[in-house]
Amino acid sequence: MTIEHARAHAVPKPWGVADLRPWSDLRQEGNQEDHKVGEIWFERSGMAAADSSLLLKLLFTSQSLSIQVHPDDKFALSIGLPRGKSEAWYVLSATPEAKVALGLNRRLTPQQLRDAIDDGSISNLVVWQKVSQGEVIFVPAGTIHAIGAGLVIAELQQRSDATFRVFDHGRKRELQVDSAVAVANTSPAVFAVPPSQITDERTLLVANPHFVFERLTLAPNSAWCLAAERETWLLVLSGGARVGSFDVGIGDAIFAQTDRVVIRAGTEGMVCLAAYTGGSPISHLLQGVGEPNALDLGRPDEERVATSFPQAKAGPANGHPEIVQ
């Protein structure tokens, strides 16, 4: 049984921002212009805790990021990495001109892709599209992509360091051309996955074999039981709640695993992102306290621990699978 208030770690980036509000009050030491924060990583609170298989983070962009691609699990294992990297973006805020890039405007052969990387024309081949608050973009491994300026994004990804840059806007960092050509899928990309409603409180954003991404909308002063049978992350977008023994508000994250977590929404209710491993949404993920099969708050802890969880089946590579009952 594990419930932790996740530790937030600020990562400076030249393309980041100085003001992280309202998402965080973390700051880097020194001159603001020289110490911009580009990412906030949410880590397990225990320093000795095992690494999670998912990584949840916030991105803050004042400039465009590099154009890049990530490998799938098979390629990552072949080069000694534990896993590949598929990811999903949830747009928290966007300036009117903010864009992201996903896929190419035409199919390329491996040699054509290599030539486009070598001469820099790859920057004119990626498909840019404006995005706005609340949009969700799924980025499967192998998809060439980039994030533009003026965005705050919640990113969920497989925990992996496998990133192959193909264009870096003159920043002079190394490009990983051979690896990028080996893993890139130059077929047209599906830009946005339409959300689907599971219940009044649950909106399915993305489901793939590596993770499920949802948005939870909890009414003011409501009480819920969250079945965190898999590795599970929560990120508060608005309002607040008491989650287990932790009081959380906007920008706070919770890690839970093999536990049933009681959530008591505050007077403003709470909207949060929920992410967990596996391929299919869990039908019993969220139940109102007092509903059949929900956590009986009167039972002793040892009885709660003994509660068994139904098994979930693996889902397809993308799209929205049927919910496992």
The domain spanning residue 169 has which CATH number? 2.60.120.10
- Using the structure block, give the residue that is written with the tokens 């977008």: 237
Q: For residue 252, report the phi and psi dihedrals to the nearest 5 degrees.
A: -85, 150
Q: Say how far apart CA 319 and CA 317 lie, in whole Å.
A: 7
Residue 188 lies in a domain: no
Residue 312 lies in a domain: no
Range of the domain at 179: 7-183
C-alpha angle 296-299-302 in degrees, rounded to nearest 5: 120
Residue 227 lies in a domain: yes
pLDDT at 313: 28
Q: 79 and 136 share a domain?
A: yes
138, 182 contact by CB (below 8 A): no
Residue 320 lies in a domain: no
43, 50 contact by CB (below 8 A): no
Q: 169 and 218 share a domain?
A: no
Q: Say how far apart CA 94 and CA 175 lie, in whole Å.
A: 28
- Using the structure block, give the residue that is written with the tokens 């590579």: 317
Q: Say how far apart CA 5 and CA 129 lie, in whole Å.
A: 35
* Total tally of structural domains belonging to the chain: 2
Q: Say how far apart CA 293 and CA 88 lie, in whole Å.
A: 31
SS3 191: coil
* Residue 100: CB atoms within 10 Å: 27
User: Among residues 158, 183, 208, which one ends one of the domains?
Assistant: 183
Q: Say how far apart CA 206 and CA 189 lie, in whole Å.
A: 15
> What's the pTM value of the predicted model, to 2 decimals?
0.87
User: Among residues 132, 162, 183, which one ends one of the domains?
Assistant: 183
Structure tokens at 25: 């009050």
Contacts of 5 (CB under 8 A, 6+ apart): 45, 246, 248, 252, 253, 254
Q: 132 and 95 share a domain?
A: yes
Structure tokens at 165: 């840059």
Per-residue pLDDT of the chain (325 residues; tens, 9 = 90+): 789 999 999 999 999 999 999 999 876 554 455 679 999 999 999 766 788 999 999 999 999 999 999 999 999 999 999 999 999 999 999 999 999 999 999 999 999 999 999 999 999 999 999 999 999 999 999 999 999 999 999 999 999 989 999 999 988 899 999 999 999 999 888 877 789 999 999 999 999 999 999 999 999 999 999 999 999 999 999 999 999 999 999 999 999 998 899 999 999 999 999 999 998 999 999 999 976 555 443 333 333 332 322 322 223 333 443 333 3
Q: 150 and 200 share a domain?
A: no
pLDDT at 312: 29
pLDDT at 25: 84
Q: 130 and 271 share a domain?
A: no
Residue 2 lies in a domain: no
Q: Say how far apart CA 124 and CA 147 lie, in whole Å.
A: 15
pLDDT at 56: 98
Beta bridge partners of 151: 61, 94
